[in-house]
Structure 1
Amino acid sequence: MIAAMPLMIIPFILYNLAMLGLMGDGGIAVLQHDVIVLSMLSGAIWSMALGDLFIVVALVVLFFEILKATRTGPGNLLNHILSMLVFIAFLVEFLLVQDAATQVFFILMTIALIDVIGGFAVSIRSAGRDVSIGL
């Protein structure tokens, strides 16, 4: 049952924690704060804000979701249904919550959509290979 849990819930929860101000005292402004600052060999300063880190986390999660979609089993359909519900939650929050109308949240929502579409596509493709018709 745990394997059917969609991993895209992680960036969704992280963003909502930041939006509620539980990750700092700035609320949604905390997404602008740099969490990584590196001096490059070229002399340039490279920084990554918390919102950018959320996107990187979501992309890593997307990789594992696509890997999960290649499995066939009883929990696969439940995973697709729950992934669709996570995307719907992203969409509803994007449309109805003022603090969710940001570029970071839109990109997270797009990654959740790619998770849903990619999961269905991979499952359909791999299910077609499981079917063997004997003559």
Structure 2
Amino acid sequence: MFVLGFPLLLVPFAIYNIVAFLLRGFVWTDPVFQVRMISQAEFSLSWGDLLVIVGLAFLFLEIVKATRMSRRSVVDHLLSLLLFIAMLVEFLLVPETATATFFLLLAIVFVDVIAGFVVSLRTAQRDVSFESVARGSE
């Protein structure tokens, strides 16, 4: 069961804010792990990359939620839009959020807002049916 009426992308946003404001000096580009590939190249995954991956997983769940048609889905879309506006304002005004990681999370939330409205509109279009009326039978 999906949590309706709650924007799941609030989770990576909250994680970012908790880390950025409580762990001063935290560097999002520090590697989580490094792996030597078969090609002998060094693959490195940073904390910021990991948070973006988490955001993408939640984006998938948000798009799946958008396919459900109910009265709660309108509230869910509205909350996603409010989350995007809050993140945009924070990105523009707060120095700790002027990072590529936060910008990518902002882009993910923007895609969620647009995809949610598009999926809802497409689903609503399919629910509309028109009946033809015979003109000569009056």
Whether these two folds match at TM > 0.5 is: yes
Is 1:4 the equivalent of 2:5? Answer: yes
- Stretches of 4+ moved more than 3 A in 1? none
Q: CA deviation at 1:119?
A: 0.4
Q: CA deviation at 1:40?
A: 1.0
What is the alpha-carbon distance in structure 2 between the residues aligned to residue 3 and residue 134 of structure 1?
A: 33
Q: CA deviation at 1:96?
A: 0.8
Q: Could you tell me which residue of structure 2 aligns to residue 112 of structure 1?
A: 109
What is the alpha-carbon distance in structure 2 between the residues aligned to residue 106 and residue 87 of structure 1?
A: 11
Percentage of pairs with the same residue: 45
Q: CA deviation at 1:21?
A: 3.1
Would you say how many aligned residue pairs link Structure 1 and Structure 2? 131
Secondary structure of the residue that 1:48 maps to in structure 2? strand
- State the Cα deviation string for residues 101-124 of structure 1 (Å, max 9, x = none): 111111111111111011000100
Q: Could you tell me which residue of structure 1 aligns to residue 99 of structure 2?
A: 102
Is 1:26 the equivalent of 2:25? Answer: yes
| Greater share of residues in helix | 1
Amino acid across the alignment from 1:26: G
What is the alpha-carbon distance in structure 2 between the residues aligned to residue 107 and residue 117 of structure 1?
A: 15
What is the alpha-carbon distance in structure 2 between the residues aligned to residue 17 and residue 51 of structure 1?
A: 14
What is the alpha-carbon distance in structure 2 between the residues aligned to residue 102 and residue 52 of structure 1?
A: 12
What is the alpha-carbon distance in structure 2 between the residues aligned to residue 36 and residue 5 of structure 1?
A: 32
- State the Cα deviation string for residues 22-75 of structure 1 (Å, max 9, x = none): 4xx633x2x122112212111111011000111111111111111111110121
Aligned ranges for residues 1-135 of structure 1 at < 5 Å?
Answer: 2-22=3-23, 26-27=25-26, 29=27, 31-135=28-132
TM-score normalized by the length of structure 2: 0.88
TM-score normalized by the length of structure 1: 0.90
RMSD (CA atoms): 1.5
Unaligned runs of 5+ in 1: none
What is the alpha-carbon distance in structure 2 between the residues aligned to residue 100 and residue 39 of structure 1?
A: 31
Secondary structure of the residue that 1:4 maps to in structure 2? coil
Amino acid across the alignment from 1:18: V
Unaligned runs of 5+ in 2: 133-138
